[in-house]
Amino acid sequence: MADPEVLQHLLFQCAREDRNAFSRLYQLTSPKLFSFLLRILKKPDLAEDALQEVFLKIWHRAADYRPDRGAPINWLMRITRNHALDRLRRTAREPRTEEPPEWEEWLSPDAGPVDQASTSADMTRFVECLDELQEEQRKSLLLAYYYGYTHDELADTMKAPLGTVKSWVRRGLQRVKACIEQ
């Protein structure tokens, strides 16, 4: 993955409609974003279409990026995740039938969007904070934010009432945020 400063510079250049910067941004980030889309959408053709749509959004919204609000890759991933979830909501699809892996497997270098970040101090702290959560909170957070499950899908998968699942996600996020800020 490219240096955050490089990505930040490219985003600033994209905001100025620099097509060369956009091409370079695509080269540097498209494999990671495609992997993330594929994990959520499950079909390569859908992920390819979504990737094009995501980069159109990035091109049009590059001026919205604010470095004080987070790393460039996090901004790109947020756009990607939101687009994938919107796409899933727009299309009728069958319920998920695959059994999610144990949570530690999601954080392996080969697991997709996390890529090599597991070696960073931020990721290490994040994993430590996840370890402090109750099992239901941890699983609901990872299924929602890593696999893109909706609250309804979480309730079905975890065999729990919808309100309970929403509480697990909300409280889990609050606890992770508080833990990271310590």
Helix then strand count (H, E) for the chain reads 9, 0
Residue ranges covered by each domain of the chain: 1-91, 102-182
Residue in this structure with the two tokens 């594929």, named with its chain if needed: 38
Q: Tally the C-alpha atoms within 13 A of residue 73's C-alpha that lie toward its C-beta.
A: 17
Q: How far apart are CA 159 and CA 145, in angstroms?
A: 19
Q: Which CATH class is domain 102-182?
A: mainly alpha
Residue type (1 letter), 86: D
Q: Would the pLDDT of 134 be above 60? A: yes
| CATH match for 1-91 among 3.40.30.10, 3.40.50.620, 1.10.1740.10, 3.40.50.720 | 1.10.1740.10
- pTM score, whole prediction: 0.57
| Residues in contact with 65: Cβ distance below 8 Å, sequence separation at least 6, in sequence order | 8, 11, 12, 15, 72, 75
Which one is predicted more confidently, 65 or 116?
65
In terms of Cα–Cα distance, which of 139, 171, 133 is closest to 155?
139
Percentage of the chain exceeding pLDDT 70: 81
